[in-house]
Structure 1
Amino acid sequence: MDKSYSPNKLAALWKQAQELCDKNKLEDALELLTPICSEINDSEYISFLNLAGLIALNLDKNEIGFSWLLKSYKLDPKQVEVNYNLSIIYENKKNYKSAVGHLSKALDLDPRNINCLFNRANIYETLELYEDGLADISKLIRLEQSADVYNLYGLIQNGCKNYNQAINLFKRALDLDPDNIEFMNNLAISHKDNGGLNQAKNILLEAIKINPGVALTLNNLGLVYEEANQLEKAVEYYRKSKDLQENFANSYNLGIAQLKVHDYKNGWKNYESRWEINSFKLKMIRTKKPLWDGSECRSILVWGEQGLGDEIIYSSMLNDLKTYCDNIYYACLSTKTISLFKNSFKKIKVLAMDEISNDDFFDYHIPVASLGQFFRLDAGSFEKYEKYLFADQDLKNKLKEKFNKPLIGISWRSNASVSKNIDLKEFKKLIHPNYQMINLQYQLTIKEKKELNSLGIKYLDLELFDDIDTAAALIDCCEFVITASNINAHLAGALNKKTFLLSASGVKQFHYWMSPTSNSLWYPSVQIVNQQKNGNWARDFELIYKQI
């Protein structure tokens, strides 16, 4: 510290800065403190740094505030308030790791600090680290029973899929703050996730009566209607939400709903807002080349962006590109599909995503699902469908040698959602004397293997999850495929196999399984079997049996 700053002078400067703050003359206070903050190099005077840092933050001079608080922290790391304030800055920067680090240091010093416990639990909830959040919020609820604490506790329990506990916690929050629209929305979403669509709808309609100008409420009501398969109502409320306050969430939801009702022109346009969602952003390739705009070009890179099923279904549009471009490259998001795609798209250069070391070899690029805005704009654009995936013939022939009857391939489970699953025992009703039933289900459990044996359904010791070539070859050996909504449905459809897709009642379906006819627009060989009675496949399986 400069010797010109005597103890008396420092005391006077501190008093003057405090008086300026009391008069709300924050700019003047910061200007007064800046010279001394620059001179401080030991922990004796860190109170000046802390005050200057907080003043700067209040003036939205975040980097200046951050620099003074960080300097204070480095001089004395054992300050609860400084660690807390630094955590807020890091959280605003979405640097959650550093934010949690400072909150943890503060809590080591003061384990019962309410603000630190709340903020760390809140960050854990944001990061979907629900078990960590549960540990913090369980401590916090013993110290403070405020509406905000109950609400955060509810969000964490909902993330843990403890829906009944979440519902009770949101109700406690609303007991303390009855007209809080945020809490009402959270309660409604918990009811929706718990299957209580009517309760969710009624809560959201009540929230709209209290305040009709909240875009989140309208968006969530759209989610409820979509879950209930009332798609026109879902579109209506997503659109109202977007008109009120456009954001990527309501635009994306509107796009999906519009695709489900076959409003492809608007649906694809709104679906592009997915690139504002973090999970999609992470898959965006790094390139300075422009997105393809639908015009003729010399070369284009199309790249995979989602799961295996999506990669397969949207690759149906790759051949449409041939009239626009001579040099087409396709980068597979999953290495599992590379060999199959190379065998199927002979005039397209198929490569792995990690082979893209630079962007010198293409003029334009486009994520594969975005081709829909050019090639799938109405039901008629699906009519030119042709089989586009081709299994390895040598592998297929070797597998065929193992059977002496025509095959019916079955799979009953989806890793994406247990609600799509079918009880394996149901397939006993489809055993036919003229066919051999063969397992297509990947990642079999020991219990499932025993059950297959007891039903007389053949399964081979094959890798059907990681080895897509083998899965495709086995499916291509089949006369019929009967499957839940999983990768097998996509492979069978792309191979143009007669397929029965089992769509359980009350289960939210992807837009591409929503069709104006009984067969999929995307895969004409796939017949969508919508369960007629919730929890009971008897009648549906009877109708399938008559067709095989």
Structure 2
Amino acid sequence: MTDAVQNDSLEQALNTTAYAVPLPVDSAGDAGASKALQTVLQIKSSKTEGRLRKAIPILKRAVRKINEGQYRSAAQLGLEALHIDENLAMANHVTAIALDKMGVASFALELYERALKLDPNEPEVYQNLGLLAWRMELHDVAEQFFRIFCRMMPNMVEGPNNLACVLRDKGLFNDAIEVLRTAIYANQESALLWNSLGTVMMEQTNFDNAILFYEQALQIEPNLARAYHNIGYCRATEGDHKTALEHIQKALDLDVMPDNERAESEHARAVSLIGIGKLDEAWEAYECRNNPRYSGATCYSIPAKKWDGEPLEGKKILVVGEQGLGDEVMFMNMGHDLIDRLGPEGHLTIGVVPRLKTLFERSFPKATVTPHATIRSNGMPLRGCPHITDWESYDYWAPMASVLRVLRTDISDFDKPGGFLTADPDRVEHWREELEKLGPGYKAGLLWKSMLMSAKRSKYYSPFSQWKKTLRTEGITWINLQYGDCEEDIARAEKEFGVKIHQLDIDLKNNLDDLAALCVALELVVGPMNATTNIAAGSGTQVAIIGAPNAWPYLGTGQLPWYPTAKVFCADSISDWKPAMARFNAWLEQEVSGGGKTSVAGAA
């Protein structure tokens, strides 16, 4: 008997609520619709022998349960069939599909691989493995399985579609285009392929061609909701949220999308509502981010009642950080107001990334700050607050942004001076003394990218080459605030630009409390929106953001209402950062020539 069949952890998994990682929205194929399942139903038990004859009736029941969406029952039946004969390829495959659909990814992967060893000539196993690996962000593995599927099934468009999309996600755009071009030549009426070609163009910020390809897909298949969604996504990325909403709503109104695609469109709609500043409607819509069918969702393991708009006065509530570290900082713009709303009889506990704990404890002394922890459970992020033990004392818990529904329903709610974080005054003084050792002049902190520069994220950042004029601005001493792998860029700045970017003795990634103090000691912090610029602006430091066009955190204002001391220099187009950099450089020269630090309320 296989380890997977005998494993007690599998029995436990079958009795635990789990969510399957949603399929990528541009994928083709679904394990639950595999032709292999129909093949099982068509087998006549009377024409089989031995153990297979005993297993077939059980497998047929399992397939029917899969078709009914009762994946746990299907998996249990599949295991029953495997107990009869663990070497039945179809029993391994059917059970893997059931486990896959119910979200038990690790065991599904094991049984898929076992089915493959028993019957290496079954193409759908390769496709299902590729889809599962893709969902688990194992892109190299997914690519290998999709390539095999393409060779075995050269006339099926699902293979080249999925292969090209994985290549796109790896940033291999030319390879993806070549795969799609070849497939489209043979399948010119495939709306699926034209749509996926549009997504490759989109990720390269070639919006005009992307939309042409989406429109071609719609000419072939007018009800292809994902194409309308993708046009909306294009427009939102360009900053045109009103037009984006029109196309996203078309996708939703067609009412033909599977759950995972609908979840993506609902989220896109909510983000664009935030992007145009319709906050009273937007924050309610934004609750869709917690739908486990949405690819960016986090699941929570918190044994308390989830808050859903109930009165907060006198209540004890836990708010848990969500999304990225920078988002946790930004959303806590409402922290002091939430404490006031709870009143003297209530209490706030804040669950945050452990690196933020010290800074948040000083900034919100009336609250309890506890670290949250996140694990990957079958490919899905699962978050909890393990240090809390008195759960019975809590009235509610909520993801951090959910509280915005009652505390930030209008732009005027953000009209508060200075910062909401409090840097350590002793460390601020320490860093001022260290900066003085570098000589007189204007001291500015610099960032230019995210630590996670994936193919999809890189388009939101101005290329380092375009920082040349900025770095050469007279009178500025530049301080490195960029964490992660940046040695090559710093060396390039000195060699090619003739500018030294000073590196101080500080752990920029992990010691965020000290980072806040350093930012407050500086005259200015410059960079894209990331964890560091959020901390700097939240601490009341003057911050210049080189940002994407009309990004949703601007709330339709063109600036950042979350941070009164931040100034946004917004790109006209995400594919052309030069105008934004030129406007920033002109402002910076004027700022420096003014001499001395701009007075900022709330800065230490």
**TM bucket normalised to smaller:** 0.7 to 0.9
Paired amino acid for 2:420: Y
CA-CA distance at 1:64 after TM superposition: 6.8
The residue number in structure 2 matching 1:108 is 117
Distance in 2, matches of 1:89 and 1:444, equals 42
1:413 to 439, 445, 449: 449
The residue number in structure 2 matching 1:9 is none
Deviates more, 1:161-170 or 1:247-256: 161-170
The residue number in structure 2 matching 1:313 is 330
The residue number in structure 2 matching 1:430 is 473
* Higher RCO (Cα < 8 Å, 6 or more apart): 2
Q: 1:436 to 1:129 in 2, by over 3 A?
A: closer
- SS, match of residue 49 in structure 1: helix
Paired amino acid for 1:344: S
Paired amino acid for 1:126: R
User: Does the 8 A contact of 1:301 with 1:331 survive in 2?
Assistant: yes
The residue number in structure 2 matching 1:266 is 281
Distance in 1, matches of 2:79 and 2:308, equals 45
1:282 has 2:298 as partner: yes
2:86 to 74, 77, 83: 77
The residue number in structure 1 matching 2:395 is 363
1:124 has 2:133 as partner: yes
2:568 to 508, 528, 541: 528
User: Does the 8 A contact of 1:532 with 1:539 survive in 2?
Assistant: no
User: Does the 8 A contact of 1:137 with 1:153 survive in 2?
Assistant: yes
1:87 has 2:88 as partner: no
- SS, match of residue 339 in structure 2: helix
User: Does the 8 A contact of 2:239 with 2:551 survive in 1?
Assistant: no
Q: What stretches of structure 2 of length at least 5 have no aligned partner?
A: 1-37, 373-385, 593-604
Distance in 1, matches of 2:485 and 2:124, equals 48
The residue number in structure 1 matching 2:596 is none
1:213 has 2:223 as partner: yes
1:493 to 518, 537, 552: 537
Q: What stretches of structure 1 of length at least 5 have no aligned partner?
A: 1-23, 38-42
User: Does the 8 A contact of 1:429 with 1:542 survive in 2?
Assistant: no
User: Does the 8 A contact of 2:96 with 2:111 survive in 1?
Assistant: yes
Task: Kindly provide the CA deviation profile for residues 298-336 of structure 1, in whole angstroms up to 9, marking residues without a partner as x.
Answer: 322222112111111111101112332133323233111
User: Does the 8 A contact of 1:207 with 1:217 survive in 2?
Assistant: yes
- SS, match of residue 348 in structure 2: strand
CA-CA distance at 1:473 after TM superposition: 0.6
Task: Kindly provide the CA deviation profile for residues 241-296 of structure 1, in whole angstroms up to 9, marking residues without a partner as x.
Answer: 22333832211101111111111122111111000146655352413324052522
Distance in 1, matches of 2:299 and 2:78, equals 35
Deviates more, 1:337-346 or 1:395-404: 395-404
The residue number in structure 2 matching 1:13 is none
1:153 has 2:163 as partner: yes
Deviates more, 1:68-77 or 1:313-322: 68-77
The residue number in structure 1 matching 2:212 is 202
Query: For residues 11-22 of structure 1, what are the structure 2 equivalents within 5 Å?
Result: none
Percentage of identical aligned residues: 20
User: Does the 8 A contact of 2:167 with 2:176 survive in 1?
Assistant: yes
The residue number in structure 2 matching 1:47 is 53
2:251 to 222, 238, 241: 241
User: Does the 8 A contact of 2:349 with 2:370 survive in 1?
Assistant: yes
Deviates more, 1:86-95 or 1:276-285: 276-285
Query: For residues 368-383 of structure 1, what are the structure 2 equivalents within 5 Å?
Result: 368-383=400-415
Distance in 2, matches of 1:88 and 1:368, equals 35
- SS, match of residue 406 in structure 2: helix
CA-CA distance at 1:124 after TM superposition: 1.8
Task: Kindly provide the CA deviation profile for residues 88-134 of structure 1, in whole angstroms up to 9, marking residues without a partner as x.
Answer: 22222232322222221222233333232222222222322121122
TM-score, with normalisation over the residues of structure 1?
0.84
- SS, match of residue 526 in structure 2: strand
Distance in 2, matches of 1:252 and 1:289, equals 24
Task: Kindly provide the CA deviation profile for residues 391-417 of structure 1, in whole angstroms up to 9, marking residues without a partner as x.
Answer: 101111122222334522222222243
Q: 1:344 to 1:222 in 2, by over 3 A?
A: same
- SS, match of residue 377 in structure 1: coil
User: Does the 8 A contact of 1:50 with 1:69 survive in 2?
Assistant: no
User: Does the 8 A contact of 1:50 with 1:68 survive in 2?
Assistant: no
User: Does the 8 A contact of 1:53 with 1:67 survive in 2?
Assistant: no
Distance in 2, matches of 1:481 and 1:202, equals 40
Paired amino acid for 1:393: P
Q: 1:137 to 1:390 in 2, by over 3 A?
A: same
Q: 1:452 to 1:329 in 2, by over 3 A?
A: farther
CA-CA distance at 1:514 after TM superposition: 5.5
Q: 1:363 to 1:200 in 2, by over 3 A?
A: same
1:291 to 299, 307, 321: 307
User: Does the 8 A contact of 2:236 with 2:244 survive in 1?
Assistant: yes
2:369 to 350, 356, 364: 350
User: Does the 8 A contact of 1:438 with 1:457 survive in 2?
Assistant: yes
Q: 1:481 to 1:52 in 2, by over 3 A?
A: closer
Distance in 2, matches of 1:290 and 1:514, equals 26
Q: 1:366 to 1:92 in 2, by over 3 A?
A: closer
CA-CA distance at 1:190 after TM superposition: 2.0
Distance in 2, matches of 1:336 and 1:474, equals 16
Paired amino acid for 1:472: A
1:440 has 2:481 as partner: yes
Paired amino acid for 1:516: T
Paired amino acid for 2:445: G
Paired amino acid for 1:228: E
Aligned Cα root-mean-square deviation (Å)? 3.1
Q: Which has the larger radius of gyration?
A: 1
The residue number in structure 2 matching 1:4 is none
User: Does the 8 A contact of 2:92 with 2:112 survive in 1?
Assistant: yes
User: Does the 8 A contact of 1:531 with 1:540 survive in 2?
Assistant: no
Distance in 1, matches of 2:356 and 2:177, equals 43
Q: 1:395 to 1:263 in 2, by over 3 A?
A: same
Distance in 2, matches of 1:443 and 1:219, equals 34
User: Does the 8 A contact of 2:198 with 2:211 survive in 1?
Assistant: yes
1:168 has 2:184 as partner: no
TM-score, with normalisation over the residues of structure 2?
0.76
The aligned length equals 508
Paired amino acid for 1:395: R
